Amino acid sequence: MSELNEIVKQVVEILDGIIEEEGVPRNIKRGANEAKELISSDSENIGTRAASAISILNELIVDPNTPIHVRTQILSAIALLERLTKE
């Protein structure tokens, strides 16, 4: 169980970095915050929350306003979340 918590912690740290970074458009920050809140909640099982967060983050990747370096961070978060969907 601690491995799952560690992955969630890493994802939250990545998303916090996006949210706090200056120069990132508000809609991207809003989506990152929504994914963060979703993955941090205890409302559903971890796999379902991770899949929902991945869906939100995928929308951010294709947004033309998303800076390239932020896309890289989002892809890192998605890679971690995909590990959770297999749990």
**Separation of CA 33 from chain center:** 8
Whether the predicted pLDDT of 72 surpasses 90? yes
Give me the pLDDT at residue 87, please. 65
Give me the pLDDT at residue 42, please. 85
What type of residue sits at position 75?
L
Q: Where are the alpha helices (DSSP H) in the chain?
A: 2-20, 26-40, 46-62, 68-85
How many domains does the chain divide into? 1
Residue 24 DSSP class = S
29-38 pLDDT tens trace: 999 999 999 9
Q: Which domain holds residue 16?
A: 2-85
- The CATH code of the domain that includes 21 is 1.20.1440.50
Which residue is it, tokens 């099982």?
45
33-71 pLDDT tens trace: 999 999 998 888 889 999 999 999 999 999 999 999 999
Assess contact for 24 and 58: CB atoms under 8 A.
Answer: no
